[in-house]
Structure 1
Amino acid sequence: MSPPRLDTLEENIFVNSIPILITGTKLEVPRAKFIPYGLNVNDKKLPKNDDDFAGPLNISSNFLFFNVSYDSLWVNTNGVISLNRGIREVESPKFPNNYAPCISPFWSDIDISHSGEIFYREIIDKPTLQIIEYDIQDKFFSFYDFIATWAFVATWIDVPQFNYNNSFNTFQSVLASNGNLSFVIFNYEQLTWSVETAQAGLNGGDGTHYFNLPGSFSSSIKKLTNLSNIGVVGKWMYRTDSLYNFEYGCPSDNLMRFKPSNVSSLGGDIIDITGPCFNKDDLIFAVIDSDQENPQGCVFKNQFTCSITTKKFKRYGRIPVLLIINSYLLYEEEIDVYEPKNGALIKKNRDSLLSLIEKINNKLINK
């Protein structure tokens, strides 16, 4: 019997630069749209074990990752492709770390002893390489002439969590290169289970260079199937050969930060948002507390900062903020919204009243 599948999925459809969540039955990156995988395309399979790995696997073309060239890799049961050692650990130290350079679509405690399959292979045949290079050319406009000469794909199909066999995750990681430029693609069909220590991203293994995907180390990591950095729900793509040339955003921890970090539910606070890098011509919007009908423009201040003025909140506590840059780059974080005490409310009302009195006086004076 096949494992249960998701019946519905919230999809991001971009209209006028604003994402609208629509519930539907279509999976944006179903396994049928993955890079071909399985025994019929000569994939190899990881053994039906827990916390296992295959490797070292010598590759026919060096893969440049954070400015370091690698000639072998390991495919690990627990949702990781590592570049200097096999990994049996079920939890990842937070990126960045010195533990291992790795590409992690979903590092968590995966157990395929009883169900689930993990496939992998090196790709050098031209038809499959063309599928990958067309995908990269389409999303990285400055590399419209990129020609892939080598690729590697690892695919986790219906993999369960250790000690649980009632929910399943399906995702794929693709590495591609032309000998100088390197790219990583993550395809997510479904993430139906997670733990608070699950992590997705890229780790240079030097304690400095890394890139985390949103939701890592929280249950929100399951939202990777609903989001994207390239405008295709469930698909993520990065250029990874150098230290500072991520095509989208900055080589940071991919987290937004707010100053001030807590604001009044009455609104009227000016918040500086940092984390991603901005260009003066970027279209930047903030969707606060999932209010997609009323997105707020985030005003460009400099390369590292944009600002918004808060409106009155309908509630207080931890409130989600979604930042959208140029329709495809998404950042999500929460801000603390507090309920003001009576004194603050009185002060705000008094300030509003004084402002009104001043306007009336000015009108009387000018008559």
Structure 2
Amino acid sequence: MRFLQQHLLLLVSVLSLNQGTTAQKAPGNFYPFDSVAGSIAVEDENSTYVGLSRPFVFFGRLYHQLYVNNNGHLSFIQPSTDFIPHPPPSYRGEDIIAPLWTDIDISPNGVISYKEYTEGVVLANATRDINLYFPDLSFTATWVFVATWHRVAYFLQPGTESSFQVVLISDGYLSFVLMNYEDVAPTADLVLAGYDTVNSARYFVIPDSSDGNSIPNLKNSSNVNVPGRWVFRVDSEQETVVGLRIRVTSYSDLTESGNILFIREKVKQELVDRGLPSMELKVRRVEKTTP
């Protein structure tokens, strides 16, 4: 039944999109995009292979290609037609970047487009943005890839419109991912925004992005104080070890292992909510003091 529905809708939407392959005005924080440079065919469960002019490093793995998948995510090893997201940690054998992974159908409305940049104002904008968010790096972008889902509908929900974008930025050594959001419609379908890696060695889920009723808030959330934008550095596979000393007031005895575990998970979630990736926390010492 689903096969018949999507192909009946296909006949209607091809005509409307053929009349609208002009450059789109980039909303809000979006990087420039248009449907002429590269666009997904108007077909449900579709993926498009893109050979990259410059390689992209994603947590230690070097990729010369990627797939722009209809259902709101990028993959590197193989195309993905999955319309049900795999929440991290999924421990799967693939790297995924998902600005908004859910069941998308662009046959009633919407455009999915992508474009590479190796010169011009987009590289200048990317350089400015990364140096603003990571001021200690002295970064100069040499390559940018932009994939945009513009006013796309959810499957069997014609009339819904969601706009979001993922931007890959590199200088050949350092790699970054930007996720930009404008208006995102709520949905009863499963959703996910974030990224996952091979065997879930590194992963991140944007807070509240796995709740279809909460995803309209993506337009207002951020980890860089820019509403509607999330930014991640994704080149290194090496773990960073840091020390964290905190003072906790509790009526529970924190020298007991169960209470320590509870507090540790609370601290971990707070750090993730503030934009840090998945991490392992180890408690070295607990000291009980008198108020």
Structure-1-length-normalised TM-score: 0.58
The equivalent residue for 1:50 is 44
Matched residue, 2:203: 210
Matches within 5 A, 1:116-135: 116-135=110-129
| Contact 1:150/1:177, CA 8 A, preserved across alignment | yes
Residue number in structure 1 paired with 2:185: 192
Say if 1:277 and 1:180 are closer, same or farther in 2 by CA, change over 3 A: farther
CA distance in 2, matches of 1:77, 1:184: 19
- Give the Å deviation of 1:276: 5.2
Q: CA deviation digits over 1:80-125, x for unaligned, max 9? A: 0111111111012221231531110000000001211001011112
Out of 115, 128, 141, the residue aligned to residue 109 of structure 2 is 115
How many Å separate the matches in 1 of 2:73 and 2:164?
A: 11
Q: Which of residues 102, 106, 119 is equivalent to 2:96?
A: 102
3-state DSSP of counterpart to 1:130: helix
Asked whether the equivalents of residues 148 and 177 of structure 1 are also in contact (C-alpha less than 8 Å), the reply is yes
Does the Cα contact within 8 Å between 1:118 and 1:156 map onto a contact in 2? yes
Tell me the amino acid that sits aligned with residue 43 of structure 2: N
What are the residue-to-residue correspondences of 1:164-243 with 2, within 5 Å?
164-195=157-188, 197-219=190-212, 220-243=214-237
Q: Which residue does 1:163 correspond to in 2?
A: 156
Q: Secondary structure at the match of 2:200?
A: coil
Give the direction of change, closer, same or farther, for the CA distance of 1:260–1:119 in structure 2 (3 Å limit). Answer: farther
Report the AA paired with residue 130 of structure 1.
A
Native 8 Å contact 2:168 2:178 kept in 1: yes
C-alpha spacing 1:95/1:131, structure 2 compared with 1 (3 Å): same
Structure 1: give runs of 5+ residues left out of the alignment.
Answer: 1-29, 251-258, 262-270, 279-283, 285-301, 306-367
Is the 1:120–1:155 Cα contact (8 Å) retained in structure 2?
A: yes
CA offset at residue 215 of structure 1? Answer: 1.4
Partner of 1:264: none
Assess, with a 3 A threshold, how the Cα gap between structure 1 residues 68 and 115 changes in structure 2: closer, same or farther: same
User: CA contact under 8 A between 2:109 and 2:159: conserved in structure 1?
Assistant: no
- 1:277 deviates by 7.7
- C-alpha separation in 2, matches of 1:225 and 1:107: 16
- C-alpha distance in 1, partners of 2:185/2:267? 31
Question: How many Å separate the matches in 2 of 1:106 and 1:65?
Answer: 19
The residue number in structure 1 matching 2:130 is 136
How far apart, in 1, do the equivalents of 2:238 and 2:251 lie? 28
8 A Cα contact 1:105 1:201, kept in partner: yes
Instruction: Pick one of 31, 35, 44 that aligns with 2:31.
Output: 35
1:285-324 pair list within 5 angstroms: none
> Who is 1:91 aligned against?
84
List runs of 5+ in structure 2 lacking aligned partners. 1-25, 243-249, 253-261, 275-280, 285-291
Across the aligned residues of Structure 1 and Structure 2, the Cα RMSD in angstroms comes to 2.8
Alpha carbons 2:72, 2:149 under 8 Å: kept: yes
State the shift of 1:245 in Å. Answer: 6.5
Listed one character per residue, the Cα deviations across residues 161-183 of structure 1 (whole Å, up to 9, x for unaligned) are 10011221001100010111000
2:204 and 2:238 mapped to 1: Cα distance?
A: 11
Tell me which residue corresponds to 1:154. Answer: 147
SS at structure 1 position matched to 2:107:
coil
2:6 matched to which residue of 1?
none
Structure with higher Rg: it is: 1
Query: Aligned to 2:158, what secondary structure does the other structure show?
Result: coil
Local SS of the residue matching 2:186: coil
TM-score by length of 2: 0.72
CA distance in 2: counterparts of 1:62 and 1:94, whole angstroms: 27
Greater RCO (CA < 8 Å, at least 6 residues apart): 2
Q: Which residue of 2 aligns with 1:361?
A: none
Write the letter of the residue equivalent to 2:228: G
Partner SS state of residue 124, structure 2: helix
Paired AA for residue 175 in structure 1: L
Q: Does 1:74 pair with 2:67?
A: yes
How far off is 1:79 after superposition? 0.3
1:33 Cα offset (Å): 3.8
Percent identity between the aligned chains?
Answer: 32
Q: Secondary structure at the match of 1:160?
A: strand
| Residue 66 (structure 1) shift | 1.3
The size of the alignment, in residue pairs, is 231
